[in-house]
Amino acid sequence: MIHTKTPRCFVGWTGKSPHPPMLPAGRTPVWSAPSPLWTVGDWRPDEARAVAEGSRKAVFLGTCLATDDELRRALRTATVETMLDSFQRLPGSYAVVVQYGQDIHVLTDRAGLHPVYHTQLAEGTVFGSDALILAALRHRNLGEAVNSGTLAAGLFVPDLTESLNSNMFRGVARAGPGNVLTLFPSGHTRVTALAIRAAFADAEEACSLLRSALLTAVDRRVSAASKLSTDLSGGLDSSTLAVLSAQAGGTPVAVTYTDPYAGNDEDLHFARAIAATEPRLDHIVVTGNQTTLPFTAFNSTPMTDDPTLDAVIYARTSHRLAPALAHKSSCHLTGDGGDVVLTAPGMIYLGDLARAGSGAKLRHESTGWARLRHHSARTVRRTATTLANTSWNETLQLLTSQLTASHVPFPPRRGPAGHLAWAMLSPAASWGTLRSRQELAERLRVVGAPYPNGIRPDSADAVALRAIHWHGAATRSFTKVTRSLGITVQAPYFDGQVVDACLAATAASRTTVDHAKPLLAAAVGDRMPPTLIARRTKGDYTACEYHGLRTNARQLNALLDNSMLADLDVINPDQARGALGRSLAGAAAPLGALSAVVAAEAWLHNLDTLDPAGWWEPRIQEEGTR
């Protein structure tokens, strides 16, 4: 077993006793009893900002960019009915713990970077921002506490894991994005949803909201950072942040990663052109090599409380962010989240256009996508119309019937049907055991409740929101990995104000085949180099993944030979191994599914060696009465 330090997180308690029977090691008090709250590990002062007004007090944990006056005003003017929502409308990305009377309210963020977990202990509830540390209260062997059904859901229907309200560890519950966990002195808890919006805004208003939110997100980070770095991939999202950070007065190290195994070097061309227009950017190009290929060093990934796809690219991440570490950057900006908040996924919005009877726009958009994807325009329109007439219950029925079939069909790779569905199975579902698939199918049968705030689950807006939550969780794990490398990564596109601004416009109004990200162009295009806003292409790193599979074939086969997912009866490793073998022989591979399985296996193996014995310690009477 490997002894590790207590995970960095915040931990709180509420219950009939003013003190919990166990205390987290490495703690720093934020509030004292009753209902004490601690940070654990290395927290900067600006990452845990406490404010009090009379009997009310709150602490903002994460990256809250509000001024001290804005925090005090929010606490002073909030009522019981409005405070929970208004606290998450301040700039930044953070969780909030609020004490109002005797009750404790813990607010998560909109995107999913700051969930909160809770578990019963004695006559009270322990809550915190890390699932591992709470699981360690109940289980000495964390590997034995894993919920195999949650692993299966993450592999087979990744976009629906949030809808399934899955908990990774038995006995540890989770409040996901956009939720409020309320804890009562009796030890009881309640989870409710935060409002997203009252109604959709028009395009002009959404554009204005996004401009204000994005400029605030960048400007205040630049002002707060002692030293700044940023990704400059050459794509729209990170390049926009790099340019805005320079225009805000920063002199960031701007990092471009290029890989000789990639299919093209267009990203590098655009990055260099952008850097040439902004002399305040200190542009550094990092070149990968065989040791930084995907699937290299996957077993060296730092421990996170969920499986992370960053295990697959850990070697690349370490290499890519080396200039930020050498610069001693206190904030590294990444464009993560831009793809999912600024537009709807793929062609899914065509279903909304068909349902709304927007015939002319549907024809225009369908024809454009048909040209791009080499489909028949008529087939695209027909598929969109079929999607519009497919209810959420019918979608779930299809998924459950596929999961319970003796042979699970791979999702179609060609044709519009592979891009137009409210939800789809991952190719990994075809590797699942019958038991794991049947159990997941049972859970899917009860996910038919309508979404809060009137968003129907069979719509592009709901698909976009599910994508935001999935990618938000992935970015949360990424920031945990990079923090272990000594780098604080921040993703402004996942700030609450930015997410709200983007979701103020319908998915169909912020997505078009004519422009890559029209909402971003309308909001800040006047501040960007014209060549950046006009870009329609993206870099393709698929070839790197195939090279990585071949280079690391021995280690990957050994991982599947000793499959812990198989031990949990989640997958049949022979089928996953077969897909790997076919990819090594030159056939097309479901790279996303293979990556997810490798990430889950690596996580389980790391978890199996983890010893949490030193994470908690009994409360000493004298400490509890200070």
Strands 489-490 and 331-333: parallel
User: How many Å separate Cα 317 from the centre of its chain?
Assistant: 17
Cα distances from 62 to residues 304, 452, 489, in angstroms, run: 17, 26, 12
Strand order in the sheet with 282-287: 282-287, 253-258, 228-231, 331-333, 489-490
Residue 35 pLDDT > 50, yes or no? Answer: yes
Of 104 and 123, the one with more pLDDT: 104
Give yes or no for a contact between 471 and 340, defined as CB atoms under 8 angstroms apart: yes
Closest CA to 143 of 613, 604, 616: 604
Give yes or no for a contact between 277 and 239, defined as CB atoms under 8 angstroms apart: no
Give yes or no for a contact between 124 and 131, defined as CB atoms under 8 angstroms apart: no
Q: Mean pLDDT highest for which of 133-137, 182-186, 190-194, 444-448?
A: 133-137
Give yes or no for a contact between 158 and 124, defined as CB atoms under 8 angstroms apart: no
Domain range list for the chain: 9-195, 203-342+466-539, 348-418+423-456, 542-609
For residue 197, the model assigns a pLDDT of: 60
Six token digits for residue 163: 């809808």
| Angle, alpha carbons 471-472-476 (nearest 5°) | 115
Question: In the CATH hierarchy, which top-level class contains the domain 9-195?
Answer: alpha beta
Give yes or no for a contact between 89 and 68, defined as CB atoms under 8 angstroms apart: no
Of 236 and 193, the one with more pLDDT: 236
For residue 621, the model assigns a pLDDT of: 54
For residue 165, the model assigns a pLDDT of: 79
Q: What is the mean pLDDT of residues 212-219?
A: 98
Cα distances from 283 to residues 231, 233, 402, in angstroms, run: 10, 11, 49
Residue 308 pLDDT > 70, yes or no? Answer: yes
Per-residue confidence band for 620, with pLDDT thresholds at 50, 70 and 90:
confident
For residue 626, the model assigns a pLDDT of: 34
Alpha-carbon distance of 13 to 119, in angstroms, equals 10
**Cβ neighbours around 141 below 10 Å, total:** 14
Q: Which pLDDT tens digit goes with each residue over 38-97? A: 999 999 999 999 999 888 899 999 999 999 999 998 888 776 666 667 888 899 999 999
C-alpha count within 13 angstroms, C-beta hemisphere, residue 419: 20
For residue 198, the model assigns a pLDDT of: 52
Six token digits for residue 341: 């908040």
**Cβ neighbours around 428 below 10 Å, total:** 28
User: How many Å separate Cα 329 from the centre of its chain?
Assistant: 23
Amino acid in position 171: G
Of 451 and 526, the one with more pLDDT: 526
Q: What is the mean pLDDT of residues 508-514?
A: 92
Give yes or no for a contact between 316 and 294, defined as CB atoms under 8 angstroms apart: yes
Report the number of secondary-structure helices (H) and strands (E) in the chain: 25, 21
Pick the range with the lowest mean pLDDT from 24-28, 138-142, 288-292, 491-495: 138-142
For 251, list phi and psi in degrees, rounded to 5. Answer: -125, 65
Question: In the chain, what's the furthest Cα-to-Cα distance?
Answer: 76
Of 1 and 90, the one with more pLDDT: 90
- Tell me if domain 9-195 and domain 203-342+466-539 are identical in fold: no
Those residues whose C-beta lies under 8 Å from the C-beta of residue 326, and which sit 6 or more positions away, are none
Those residues whose C-beta lies under 8 Å from the C-beta of residue 288, and which sit 6 or more positions away, are 257, 258, 259, 260, 261, 316, 319, 320, 544
Alpha-carbon distance of 601 to 570, in angstroms, equals 11
Residue 9 pLDDT > 50, yes or no? Answer: yes
| Angle, alpha carbons 93-96-100 (nearest 5°) | 155
Residue the block writes with tokens 């208003």: 205
For 483, list phi and psi in degrees, rounded to 5. Answer: -65, -35
β-bridge mates for residue 379, sequence order: none
Alpha-carbon distance of 48 to 30, in angstroms, equals 8
Q: What is the mean pLDDT of residues 141-160?
A: 95
Collapse the DSSP code of 565 into the 3-class scheme (helix H, G, I; strand E, B; otherwise coil) and give the result.
Answer: helix
For residue 479, the model assigns a pLDDT of: 97
Give yes or no for a contact between 20 and 37, defined as CB atoms under 8 angstroms apart: no
Q: Which pLDDT tens digit goes with each residue over 326-364? A: 999 999 999 999 999 999 998 999 999 999 998 899 999
* Percent of the chain surpassing pLDDT 70: 95
For residue 624, the model assigns a pLDDT of: 44
**Cβ neighbours around 52 below 10 Å, total:** 13
β-bridge mates for residue 125, sequence order: 14, 120
Closest CA to 171 of 134, 141, 124: 134
Of 196 and 539, the one with more pLDDT: 539
Q: Which pLDDT tens digit goes with each residue over 228-274? A: 999 999 999 999 999 999 999 999 999 999 999 886 668 999 999 99
Alpha-carbon distance of 321 to 298, in angstroms, equals 17
Give yes or no for a contact between 504 and 201, defined as CB atoms under 8 angstroms apart: yes
| CATH topology classification for 203-342+466-539 | Rossmann fold (3.40.50)
* Percent of the chain surpassing pLDDT 90: 77
**Following DSSP, what letter does each residue of 411-454 receive, concatenated?**
PP-SSGGGT--SS---GGGGGB-HHHHHHHHHHHTT--SPPGGG
Residue the block writes with tokens 């900067």: 44
Closest CA to 190 of 79, 105, 108, 80: 105
For residue 411, the model assigns a pLDDT of: 65
